[in-house]
Structure 1
């Protein structure tokens, strides 16, 4: 396997990446900050679920893998010959050591502690001996694996409140379920019936598969699957859709029900409080790395 390393200004990152993948048959393409680990390094990221604000840095490094040297050389030659590729440069072209990418990827994901007794454990790991409740969840293409602060805070709330409240969780709604991680957590911790809904059909499939893998029953579907009132409503999305969903989510709250919301940055707390004020008083329940967990209870 051979790696072609290119330098590119921001304007060329997207067209060069597309050419490498779609026309020059690269096995993979990655983009890095050419100024990483220097004083000129610049963070480039968006909120979870949202695209990055720009396709690359002012000075980006593109790394493309090819199955053999001839393909890598041809790709470099063709790219440099394009009249639109001014500013593109070749930094290196070299053989790279073959690796067991599956094993390498797996090594990056360890069990995640939600509470001392509740853990998320990839299928290739043994559960810690102290784990009384274990969710089996492998990293996939999308939707969350329990490592993000918003997910950990939601699951922590469920785990900590379950001893006192789970007896009343005859119905739970996970709105915007993604991988189904919150729905599965609620089911593992005592909820008798759980509805999980998402606008993405792929999320519905992911939730169903993960529920089966964990031996729990989840009714997963598109948003119209949610019906009636629930004693617990969970939503880990982002602040903007959560504000728009305020009347819908609050309409699903049974008297005395708890609403738990995540995907909210600390600076967005007052916006969410105002959006939900006509129906419920929200409070900040937890904070983690700039993110907050918010919740409230509908009057009985």
Structure 2
């Protein structure tokens, strides 16, 4: 049986949601939050009304337990996380191997339909689409990042949906993960779709998800992306996006749109400066400390 790696962190209550989002952006397979003072006199109870959000994202002292596919991935994610200003009070409790128990299927019950706009919804296969959904993407959680629950993904999808019809457009999803952005473009009319990722699991996931949605996506390693596109989407992280600036911009036709996500608010100005030789980027959406940068060549 293969081995996953569990990283356990002690996190103050006010940073639980932000750290959880960052861990998922850093390719965690799952994140759970527990009371660090459970089974002690300091244990706290969190109660919420049925159907309503819980009053707080975590406890005064929370344990964040997150799973990674390998020790190397966990160590790299931890290094990146602890370098962030908002993680100054986050402390490592442990990093240990655990048995792989098909966590995807064990946590299915946590995933519900996700609204992107009033009429565009992401719906797991075990749920019925809501009646107001006119555009429906069927997407189950898997080993590749991208289920529509993270702010960076939602912002990309909102931008796509609000631009309207993509018929006849050539679209590149760079760092495709689950393929969610390429598939969304396809459901919105685009028929020439390419998704690339360095992770073989992402390539496989994108292929399966595209087929499940009746969308044709050419998917493979980054060298698959050839020529110029009408739209380039990249939901990754700030550092790789800086390094990829010349490559991503080389794939833009004159008049093409570039959409970048995976960025914290404080990183937007620096990233816009890196891309300035090719096009002007501006913040067009923001959610929970994350921003979306878009521009036209």
TM over 0.5, yes or no? yes
| CA deviation after TM superposition for structure 1 residue 252, in Å | 0.4
Shift of 1:283: 0.2
Partner of 2:128: 126
Check the 8 A contact 1:31/1:62 in 2, yes or no.
no
Name the counterpart of 2:260.
Answer: 261
C-alpha deviations, 1:43-79, integer Å up to 9, x for none?
7699x98623499x8695999999xxxxxxxxxxxxx
Q: CA deviation at 1:141?
A: 2.2
- Cα RMSD (Å): 3.5
What runs of 5+ residues in structure 2 fail to find an aligned partner? 1-7, 11-31, 45-58, 83-89
The residue aligned with 2:119 is 117
Conserved in 2, the CA contact under 8 Å of 1:31 and 1:61? no
1:41 aligns with 2:41: no
- For residues 208 and 227 of structure 1, the distance between their equivalents in structure 2, rounded to whole angstroms, comes to 19
Task: Count residues in correspondence.
Answer: 233
Q: Post-superposition shift, 1:202?
A: 1.4
Q: Give the whole-Å Cα distance in 2 for the aligned partners of 1:212 and 1:238.
A: 27
Q: Equivalents in 2 of 1:271, 1:32: separation in Å?
A: 36
Task: Name the larger-Rg structure.
Answer: 1
Contact 1:236 1:261 in 2 (8 A): yes
| Gap change, CA 1:267 and 1:9, over 3 Å in 2 | closer
Q: 1:52 aligns with which of 78, 89, 103?
A: 78
**Structure 1 residue aligned with 2:269:** 270
Measured in 2, the distance between the counterparts of 1:217 and 1:51 equals 32
Q: How much has 1:105 moved relative to structure 2?
A: 2.7
In 2 relative to 1, CA 52–115 (structure 1 residues): closer, same or farther, beyond 3 Å? Answer: same
Aligned to 1:14: none
Indicate yes or no: 2:197 matched with 1:208. Answer: no
Q: Would you say the 8 A contact 2:281–2:295 is kept in 1?
A: yes
> 1:231–1:253: 8 Å Cα contact kept in structure 2?
yes
Normalised TM-score (structure 2) = 0.70
Q: Report the equivalent of 1:150.
A: 152
Q: Deviations over 1:186-218 (max 9, x none)?
A: 000011210000111111111001000111100
Distance (whole Å) between structure 2 residues aligned to residue 153 and residue 257 of structure 1: 19
TM-score, normalization: structure 1?
0.69
- Mapping for residues 275-294 of structure 1, pairs under 5 Å: 275-294=274-293
- Identify unmatched segments of 5+ residues in structure 1: 1-7, 11-29, 67-100
Equivalent-residue separation in structure 1 for 2:285 and 2:141 (angstroms)? 25
CA pair 131-113 structure 1, distance change in 2 beyond 3 A: same
1:35-184 aligned within 5 A: 35=37, 41=61, 51-53=77-79, 60=93, 105-163=107-165, 166-169=166-169, 171-184=170-183
Report if aligned partners of 2:33, 2:64 keep a CA contact under 8 Å in 1: no
Matched position secondary structure for 2:107: helix
